Amino acid sequence: MLGAIVGDIVGSVYEFKNYRAKGFSPFFHSESKFTDDTVCTAAIADSLINNIPPEEALKTWGRRYWSNGGWGKQFASWLASPETKPFNSYGNGSAMRVSSCAWLSNSLEEALELAMKVTIVTHNHPEGLKGALATTEAIYHSIQGINKSDLRSMITKTYGYDLSRSVDEIRVNNPRNETCQKTVPEAITCALESISFEDAIRNAVSIGGDSDTIAAITGSIAEAMYGVPDIFMAKALGILPKDIKDVITQFEKRLSIKCITPG
């Protein structure tokens, strides 16, 4: 969960001003902020932890942080409407918010079931669902310690994503795009080609495009691969408001209980 949030915060300043290189400095810019990616990540975690219908959690959190910006047009209309029906979206918002589904599950099947449950309330288009499921599966397998070569093969075979291009190749021509089918494979590649959590986020920012969301998706996978460095966790927590930090605390408590094995 924190991996997605750190990716969002770091990528936030480059969303509309792409920086197509890995050497940006500082890692956390003075204008870095959390966006809708963080808000929706918190909403889904809140939904799962506290048994709140996902559409209710998304509307509550989205309306609370309406002025934070970054909302896609369809999602913003859905937030403003009293309706709770899905709107057939294939936007990458489905993929950036699902990290808690993988962490809170005891099996891949459970993780995918949760991801489907929290995604279909808005993104019921096949590509929107596929983006969320592929991201969840990548996170889950990474938590289990799968090697990157096997992960690449599994995601390619299961979801049909082209993961053959390198980060350097993607960077050459990666216009802004907010669809799952365009951004999720690129975000997964940024994690697969990384050597550390920081390197993964730098990969994500460097390819341009929808920087904050690509970095959030990449960060959610990279957290499962490497963990989030304490210094990055502290920096992110210093930017977040209390209610989001409270959800993170609840999430970590739930994880600690989940990891206890009866003696």
Residue pointed to by tokens 């210093």 = 238
The sign of the dihedral angle between the CA atoms of 83, 135, 102, 66 is negative
Question: What does the pLDDT average to over 236-256?
Answer: 96
β-partners of residue 119 are none
Average pLDDT of 240-255?
Answer: 97
Average pLDDT over residues 133-141: 98
Place of tokens 């997605």: 4
pLDDT tens for each residue of 211-227: 999 999 999 999 999 99
Give, in degrees to the nearest 5, the angle at Cα 245 between 233 and 131: 75
State the Cα–Cα distance between residues 57 and 190, nearest whole angstrom: 30
DSSP state of 65: T
pLDDT digits (tens, 9 = 90+) for 155-170: 999 999 999 999 999 9
Task: Tell me the C-alpha distance between 205 and 202, whole Å.
Answer: 5
According to the model, what pLDDT value does residue 127 have? 98
- Would the pLDDT of 199 be above 60? yes
Per-residue model confidence (pLDDT) at position 257: 82
Q: What was the pLDDT predicted at 259?
A: 64
- 86: helix, coil or strand? coil
**Mean pLDDT, residues 79-84 taken together:** 93
52, pLDDT greater than 50: yes
Q: Tokens for 65? A: 């942080």
In order of their start, the domains of the chain are: 2-258 (1.10.4080.10)
* Distance of alpha carbon 115 from alpha carbon 124, whole angstroms: 12
**What is the arithmetic mean of pLDDT over 105-121?**
98
pLDDT, greater one: 236 or 67: 236
**Phi, then psi, of 117 in degrees rounded to 5:** -60, -45
Mean pLDDT across the chain, nearest whole number? Answer: 96
Q: Please report where in the chains the tokens 């690449």 appear, as a residue.
A: 152
| Residue 262 pLDDT > 90 | no
Using an 8 Å Cβ cutoff, are 122 and 86 in contact? yes
Whether the pLDDT of residue 69 is over 80: the answer is no
- 13-34: per-residue pLDDT in tens? 999 999 999 999 999 999 999 9
Judge residue 85's burial from the number of C-beta atoms within 10 Å of its C-beta, 0-12 exposed, 13-18 middle, 19 or more buried. exposed
Q: Give the largest Cα separation in the chain, rounded.
A: 54
Mapping DSSP to helix (H, G, I), strand (E, B) and coil, where does residue 98 land? Answer: coil
pTM above 0.95, yes or no: yes
Q: Quote the CA–CA distance of 144 and 131 in Å, as a whole number.
A: 20
Cα 49 to its chain centre, rounded Å, is 17
CA distance 244 to 254: 15
Helices (H), the chain: 2-11, 36-50, 54-64, 73-80, 93-96, 99-103, 108-119, 126-143, 148-159, 167-172, 180-192, 197-206, 211-226, 230-239, 242-258
Note whether 118 and 51 are within 8 A (CB). no
User: 185 to each of 42, 88, 114, 179, 217, how far by Cα in Å?
Assistant: 23, 20, 21, 11, 10
Return the pLDDT at 67: 86
Residue range 51-67: average pLDDT?
96
